[in-house]
Amino acid sequence: MNRRRVTVVAAAVGVIAGATGLGVLAMPAGAGPAPVLPDVSAEALVESVLNAKPAAFGGSVAVNNDLGIPVIAGVPQLSDGASTLRMWTDGEGKLRAQLPGGDSERTFVDDGETAWLWDSAEQTVTKMPHGSFEERKPELKPGEQQAAPADPVTLSRQVVAAVQEYSDVTVDGTARVANRPVYELVLTPKPTEKTVLREVRVAVDSELRVPLRVAVLTNGTDAPAVQVGFSELNVGPQDASLFSFTPPAGAKVSEPESHEPTAEDKAAAEKAITEANPQVIGEGWDTVLAARVPQDALTFLAEGQQGEQRGNGRWQEEGEGREVDVQGLLRQLGKPLSGAWGSGTLITTRVGGVLIADDGRVAVGAVPEQVLVDAIGQVK
């Protein structure tokens, strides 16, 4: 009889052990004690980040999105939740990134000469030889390259000075990210700033001086609204075979046509920009981007989105000439608002808001409602 009792006790211990195991598995992995690192000033830290040489590494990036973007049925968007990205780089321009999604995967491989994008769900490969896309970028924003000083030390001073005008930059101790010791660089808006953001935390690797985690925290909550950070990081040379890609047999390989922007394209873009009249209102953290979107562009956007959704949903019918109720779509997302400036719809997320007036004026910023309303009143 005694033996039976021993067995029952052992079995009970087994049940408890199993249940504890479940609890341990469900718990997020602890970060461990904060490492002891030599003190560093915020300026020196930023400077070393800007000076850092790209290193070879492979790892997983966890993205935790809690932006609170309103959900609208059937329209694809940045959904809240966690996702993981796996990436490898040899530090010399070759890159591989894999984005697992459910039971499919997208793989991006840049072998130094050609960039490949593989989509397992569609069995397609997009081939982008280098040089077909880069040339177009500088033309859109001329002068930006020249404006940047070549000297990283000067650049970092400028960056820190610019940031310090509106925020407090501090090094808030150390932590561990992906099991590597990091410095926590914290940007806090000055109390006079009218923003919904509380602080931005950047975890900088103590050795590589590479940002390993960026978290945006908002007023009122402890959990970050967005956090992007490495959950696993292996520094060192990576397997060279990771940076080559051979399109699998049976996959459709497409090469997007690369064409120089024609004079018509440029004229159209200029016209659109002039019409939109984008302007920046406010400065620092309360910067609000405002513009005037032509009504037909808004309709076009909504149609494009719906058309894309049709395509995803395998409804082959063409959606041309459909009437799209843009305002109705917007009202599903946000709340109606009106005032001396007019009336419109306010869409709020945890990191800011968008105010879209019925006449096409738009104001976007990481600011509370009142600042957006003030800004949209200034749009001509």
Partner 1 sequence: MSALVATRAPLGRQLRSELRWILRRPRTVIGLASLCLVPILAGVGLWFAVDGDGPAGPGLAAIIAGNGLVLPVFTLFLALPLLLPLVGAIWAADGLAGEAQHGTLRGLMISPVGRIRLLGIKAFGVATMSLVAVTLIAFVGAITGVVLFGGEGMLTLSGSTLSLGEALGRIVLTILLVTVQVWGVAAIAMAISACTEHPLVVMAATMAGVIVFAVLGAFSALDWLHPYLITSAWQGLVDVMRDPLPTEELWRSTALAGCYIVIGMSLAAMRLVTKDN
Binding site for partner 1 (CB under 8 A): 3-4, 7-8, 10-15, 17-19, 21-23, 25-26, 60, 86, 98, 100, 102-105, 107, 116, 118, 120-123, 125, 232, 239, 242, 245-251
From the CB of 252, what's the least distance to partner 1, in Å? 10
CB of 65 to partner 1, least distance (A): 13
In the complex, the smallest distance separating the C-beta of residue 125 from partner 1, rounded to whole angstroms, is 7
Nearest to partner 1 of 183, 245 (CB atom): 245
Closest approach of partner 1 to the CB of residue 59, in Å = 11
- Taking the C-alpha atoms of residue 125 and residue 116, their distance in angstroms, rounded to an integer, is 7
Cβ closest to partner 1, residue 87 vs residue 187: 87
Cα–Cα distance between 200 and 264 in angstroms, integer? 42
Three-class SS state of 107: strand
Cβ-based nearer residue to partner 1, 98 or 306:
98
91: left (phi over 0), alpha (psi -120 to 50) or beta: left
Closer to partner 1 by CB, 102 or 143: give it. Answer: 102
Instruction: Identify whether the C-beta of residue 181 lies closer than 8 Å to the C-beta of residue 203.
Output: no
Contacts of residue 251, defined as CB under 8 A and 6 or more positions apart, other chains included, come to 118, 123, 124, 125
Nearer to partner 1, 11 or 162 (CB): 11
Token pair for 222: 């402890």
Helix (H, G, I), strand (E, B) or coil at 72: coil
Beta bridge partners of residue 202, listed in sequence order: 185, 214
Going by the DSSP 8-state scheme, the letter that residue 35 receives in this structure is P
CB 162 within 8 A of CB 168: no
CB of 261 to partner 1, least distance (A): 31
Q: How far is the CB of 22 from partner 1 (least distance, A)?
A: 5
Nearer to partner 1, 120 or 305 (CB): 120
